[in-house]
Structure 1
Amino acid sequence: MTIEDLLTYITNDKTALFLFFILLPILTIIITAISRGRSLEKPYSYLYSMLLFEVCIPGVLSITLWIYSMFFERKALWQLPFFIYYLPVIIMVLCIYILKKKRVSIRRLPWTGELYEFLVLLIITFASLLIIMKLHIISFNQPWQLGLFALLCLSTLHLLWKRMASLR
């Protein structure tokens, strides 16, 4: 499986992908309207944290894929599909903007430290997978093989990260 095959597999159902990404800012607006300044209270803070994870993970993956396509594959910006490269980043920026506009303190939400750590590990894992796929070191025939290998790499990096943090 090549990177192009993976992107084609993801974009088979563009309607579902579009609805998922459009639903995220709508949920952000609804949750901020319901919470009305109580963003650090228990149910709302966890909802905001989960929303940040749902928005930031696809956005960071999209940015990583964007950088890979521009530098390794030398693709022009207009050749990149909108639903994979641009929509997740736009929705991520929009949701974070809505949260900032409603005065939600993102740094004080639960799991935001883990979010930053997870996003760094995700970037390292995804970039490593893209390089492995580009150099044809390991051949992935099915998407589940790629997902399993990505999960293995991510969990290994997480264990190494925790080990290094405990050495301080």
Structure 2
Amino acid sequence: MTLRDVFEAVSSQPALLFVLLMAVPTAAFLVNLWSGETAEEIWKWRYVYATLVYLACIPGVFAVTLNIYLFLFERQSIWEMNLGLQALPILTMAGTLLLIRRKMPFKYIPGFGKLSGFLTLIAAVMGILWFIDRTRIYAITYIPFMYIVVGFVALLLLIRFAWSRIF
């Protein structure tokens, strides 16, 4: 089974996809109602908020990465975009994060920093790959592959350090 087969199977059931993706912001809205108003009451719900953040961000980040890949590398037209698989997870992620941010700052949600670091790493890798694809540089070299891997990891660490200094 290929990824295309999975997407076609999910696309054949758009109502189920919509219900599953809308369950996360709905749950965030309900948790906001039930969590109370004082800081102590809200603090007790931080792991529920962390679960909701991950449930929203994993498909959302995957959809963002998929869109970047399809538009930059595969040259997919925006008119051929599958709204259920390429846009709805991003909207779900944004809506869920907005609802959660109203009640609790992200710095208090466990693991949110790791999620933003992962997103930075994905963006850096996609940027490097796009740059390599656009420059069409192909080199035949006698440099051992381990040196290339070490250079790539060093470049990622440099990008991560620069990103953390900027923001």
TM-score normalized with structure 2 length = 0.65
1 or 2 for the larger relative contact order (CA 8 Å, sep ≥6)?
1
CA distance in 2, matches of 1:26, 1:34: 12
Q: Matched residues in 2 for 1:114 and 1:40: separation?
A: 22
Instruction: Tell me how far 1:63 sits from its aligned partner.
Output: 0.5
Structure 2 match to 1:112? 112
Q: What displacement does 1:77 show? A: 1.2
Question: Alpha-carbon deviation of 1:116?
Answer: 2.7
Equivalence for 2:99: 98
The one-letter amino acid of 1:26's match is T
Report the counterpart of residue 35 of structure 1 in structure 2: 35
What one-letter code is carried by the residue in structure 2 that aligns with 1:89?
I
Q: Does 1:46 align with 2:47?
A: yes
**Conservation of the 8 A alpha-carbon contact between 1:40 and 1:109:** no
Deviations 1:101-149 (A, max 9, x none): x23111111122232344456x38x96xxxxxxxxxxxxxxxxxxxxxx
Q: Which residue of 1 aligns with 2:60?
A: 59
**Rounded Cα–Cα distance in structure 1 between residues aligned with 2:97 and 2:27:** 12
Aligned partners of 2:50 and 2:111 also within 8 Å: yes
Q: Is the 8 A contact 1:59 1:92 kept in 2?
A: yes
Over aligned residues, Cα RMSD in angstroms? Answer: 3.3
Provide the residue aligned with 1:88 in structure 2: 89
In terms of mean alpha carbon deviation, does 107-116 or 53-62 score higher?
107-116
Segments of 5+ residues of structure 1 without an aligned counterpart are: 128-156, 162-168
Matched residues in 2 for 1:26 and 1:95: separation?
Answer: 8
Q: Work out the percentage of aligned pairs sharing the same amino acid.
A: 27
Structure 2 match to 1:11: 11
CA contact (8 A) 1:56 1:92 kept: yes
Larger Rg: 2
5+ residue gaps in structure 2?
127-152, 158-167
Deviation at 1:6, TM superposition (A): 3.8
Partner secondary structure for residue 86 of structure 1: helix
Counterpart Cα distance in 2 of 1:98 and 1:15? 23
Matched to 1:62, the amino acid is: A
| TM-score normalised per structure 1 | 0.65
Q: Aligned letter for 1:64?
A: T
